Amino acid sequence: MTLSEASNQAVVDAPTVLIGRCTGCKQAFRAEIPAGRPVFAGYATEAAMAAGHPIHHGCRAGARCPEYPSGLPECGDSFCEGHALTDIRYRALKITYKPEAICGPGNCWGAKSTNCTCSCRGKNHGGMWAPK
């Protein structure tokens, strides 16, 4: 196996990194789905839950959802009286390998976006938002 093949295999064996945001307070979250488990677009939140990562927190407990200009709450329930837990919507990380880029608190460890352009290949991206 050549060095290039070994490097590509390491990327294939890497976990899928998901970055999420609370729909209420916009707090960021990070979850890792073990290598080999499929994660399809649109199912990232379900994949995070299946892997045992938190997908809810109580920031909006009992509070009515924010409303659209039409007056309909964001949850779509016109009788919304609040929710016990707030959803976290996850999306898969898009990685662009850039060997000269160095991880830092703003562009990598504390990142809230789903785009990683770094030498860590997403290993550190949004790490401060991972469950402790």
Pairing mode of beta strands 16-22, 86-92: antiparallel
Sequence-separated (6 or more) residues with CB below 8 Å from residue 55: 20, 45, 48, 49, 87, 88, 90
Interval 89-131: pLDDT, tens: 788 889 899 999 888 887 888 888 889 988 998 889 998 888 7
pLDDT score at 6: 36
Alpha helical stretches, state H, 1-132: 3-12, 44-50
64-67 contacts at long range (C-beta below 8 A, 24 or more positions apart)? none
Weakest-pLDDT range from 15-19, 56-60, 78-82, 118-122: 56-60
**Domain spans, the chain:** 14-129
CA 69, 73, 78, 81 torsion-angle sign: negative
Percent of the chain with pLDDT strictly greater than 70: 70
